[in-house]
């Protein structure tokens, strides 16, 4: 069974990149123009370059191969065949003269054997590094013991124009990706320059690796990256969030540093440090040993102490979240809108005091600014205020956070997710509607025990 192999890639380090791009663009235009050829030109091609056989049972000779008697435009360079009696001959500059017994156009494979009166062995090894102008010729990998009789040769019969177009497209993509990464890096550095050198502390990436213990202990996964447990040089435990370079445009990093980098409140997670080095960005927070509120209100762990689930404790947690939100909205020099209040983003410290975290979607505005402009809805489905979807419900403001907080409180009280796809009766998926129907019909609402 024949297994086509991928042609080896060619190094681009020695290529003059601007000239390479220019040549590629010209070839791309030529390739595009060839596709718009008129039907008359196509008919002329098939008349002039008709298929041919050297014998009744010989292989069919057609593009990209051509006979020596046909015009050069009928085939690709290096694909010249000739007829010697009833034999089809490939006179290759590397292989030498070989007899072609079969051509499989569908798979790009030919069978070739040395001529009986020729000293050529049609050696396959010489083809491994051969790069013709039409593409790369590479043999199917066969063991030495089976290299007897017919030799199988794999041909990547792509034209030089098409190959260059693909290479140019790849080079352009890599160039644009590099420029985009550089633009993000410049954007972040400009922000940090205006931000100043006060707390939180800026660390190098090598220092972050030491703090995170080489990222061995993963404790969570956020919307913008993975979170690892670490320790500062003074022994203080921390959480290190490594922001994914493939997500966002640096905005989540700037939002986090700009919003919670300069504030300190008992109900807001504290940012202790950060790192911005090339495309690597990290945020270092105080460590929250009891993880997120989500773990407790949805009973994901049967080993959780039931004392935390009592109404008085839940009320204390809800009050703490409300105090943190009030500080963000009214207690800072600029109003901070979180836009992603949900149980997963409420962390619990050693005493189960709640702390608002994950400010990647946050937005700053003046304290006297009541209306905020957004280009798209921000947040997590089920917690996003309706005015973010449609202005028919009103303008976006700090009250959008209050709506999210209300949904969170409903989940804390009921122990149900506000949008749970695991519920069999899909009419009961949306928690507010489920509550409304029971209140409207006078039914009892069974709360989490």
Q: Is the pTM of this model over 0.85?
A: no
Are β-strands 271-277 and 201-202 bridged in parallel, bridged antiparallel, or unpaired? parallel
Long-range (24+ apart) CB contacts under 8 A made by 408-411 are 408/321, 408/341, 408/342, 408/343, 408/346, 408/383, 409/318, 410/435, 411/297, 411/298, 411/343
Domain that holds residue 246: 197-287
Same domain for 280 and 359, yes or no, is no
Query: Is 153 contained in some domain?
Result: yes
Measured CA to CA, the distance from residue 374 to residue 251 in angstroms comes to: 14
CATH of the domain at 205: 3.30.200.20
Same domain for 264 and 378, yes or no, is no
99 is in an annotated binding site: no
CATH of the domain at 328: 1.10.510.10
Same domain for 152 and 217, yes or no, is no
Query: Is 439 contained in some domain?
Result: yes
Of 287, 309, 337, the residue at which a domain comes to its end is 287
Same domain for 60 and 147, yes or no, is yes
Of 248, 271, 287, the residue at which a domain comes to its end is 287
Whole-number mean pLDDT of the chain?
Answer: 73
Percentage of the chain exceeding pLDDT 90: 18
Report pLDDT for 307: 60
Query: Is 7 contained in some domain?
Result: no
Q: Residue 251: pLDDT above 80?
A: no
Same domain for 444 and 348, yes or no, is yes
Same domain for 395 and 275, yes or no, is no
Same domain for 244 and 368, yes or no, is no
Same domain for 225 and 334, yes or no, is no
Same domain for 267 and 128, yes or no, is no
pLDDT 10s digits, 375-401: 778 888 889 998 988 878 888 999 999
Mean pLDDT of 46-50: 70
Query: Is 361 contained in some domain?
Result: yes
Determine which one of 16, 312, 340, 368 is catalytic: 340
Active site residue 401: no
Query: Is 107 contained in some domain?
Result: yes
Same domain for 398 and 307, yes or no, is yes
Mean pLDDT of 208-218: 92
Cβ neighbours of 107 (radius 10 Å): 12
- Measure Cα distances from 237 to 21, 69, 229, 242, 257 in Å: 52, 81, 7, 16, 20
Helix H or strand E encompassing 177: helix 160-195
Same domain for 149 and 213, yes or no, is no
Closest CA to 287 of 338, 371, 190, 357: 357
Given pLDDT bands bounded at 50, 70 and 90, which one contains residue 148? very low
Query: Is 424 contained in some domain?
Result: yes
- Measure Cα distances from 185 to 173, 209, 242, 279, 316 in Å: 18, 20, 15, 7, 42
Closest CA to 363 of 345, 347, 354, 375: 375
Query: Is 105 contained in some domain?
Result: yes
pLDDT 10s digits, 160-201: 566 777 777 787 777 776 666 666 556 656 655 655 555 678
Same domain for 225 and 303, yes or no, is no
Q: Residue 127: pLDDT above 50?
A: no
* Count: domains in the chain: 3
Q: Residue 102: pLDDT above 70?
A: yes
Report pLDDT for 404: 94
Query: Is 182 contained in some domain?
Result: no
């Amino acid at each position: 069974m024949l297994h086509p192999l991928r042609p080896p890639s060619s190094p681009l380090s020695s290529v003059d990149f601007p000239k390479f791009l220019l040549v590629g663009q010209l070839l791309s235009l030529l390739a595009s123009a060839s596709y718009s050829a008129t039907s008359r030109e196509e008919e002329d091609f098939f008349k002039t370059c008709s298929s041919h056989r050297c014998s009744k049972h010989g292989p069919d000779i057609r593009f990209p191969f051509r006979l020596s008697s046909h015009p050069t435009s009928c085939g690709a360079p290096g694909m010249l065949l000739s007829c010697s009696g009833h034999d089809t001959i490939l006179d290759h500059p590397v292989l030498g003269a070989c007899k072609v017994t079969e051509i499989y156009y569908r798979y790009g494979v030919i069978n070739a054997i040395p001529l009986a009166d020729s000293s050529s062995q049609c050696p396959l090894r010489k083809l491994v590094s051969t790069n013709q102008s039409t593409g790369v010729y590479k043999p199917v990998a066969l063991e030495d013991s089976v290299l007897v009789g017919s030799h199988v040769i794999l041909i990547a019969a792509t034209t030089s124009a098409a190959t260059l177009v693909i290479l140019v497209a790849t080079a352009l993509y890599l160039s644009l990706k590099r420029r985009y990464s550089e633009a993000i890096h410049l954007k972040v550095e400009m922000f940090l320059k205006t931000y100043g050198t006060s707390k939180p502390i800026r660390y190098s990436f090598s220092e972050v690796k030491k703090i995170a213990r080489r990222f061995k202990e993963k404790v969570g996964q956020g919307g913008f990256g993975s979170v690892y447990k670490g320790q500062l040089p003074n022994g203080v435990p921390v959480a290190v969030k490594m922001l994914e370079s493939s997500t966002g445009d640096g905005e989540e990093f700037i939002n986090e540093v700009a919003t919670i980098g300069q504030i300190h409140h008992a109900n807001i997670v504290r940012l202790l440090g950060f790192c911005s080095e090339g495309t690597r960005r990290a945020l270092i927070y105080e460590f929250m040993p009891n993880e997120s509120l989500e773990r407790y209100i949805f009973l994901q762990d049967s080993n959780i102490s039931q004392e935390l689930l009592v109404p008085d404790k839940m009320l204390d947690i809800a009050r703490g979240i409300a105090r943190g939100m009030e500080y963000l909205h009214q207690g800072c020099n600029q109003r901070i809108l979180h836009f992603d209040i949900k149980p997963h983003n409420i962390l619990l410290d050693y005493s189960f005091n709640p702390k608002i975290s994950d400010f990647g979607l946050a937005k700053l505005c003046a304290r006297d600014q009541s209306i905020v402009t957004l280009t798209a809805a921000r947040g997590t489905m089920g917690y996003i205020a309706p005015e973010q979807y449609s202005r028919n419900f009103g303008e976006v403001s700090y009250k959008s956070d209050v709506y999210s907080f209300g949904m969170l409180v409903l989940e804390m009280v009921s122990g149900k997710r506000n949008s749970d796809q695991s519920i069999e009766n899909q009419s009961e998926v949306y928690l507010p509607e489920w509550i409304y129907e029971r209140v409207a019909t006078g039914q009892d609402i069974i709360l989490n025990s």
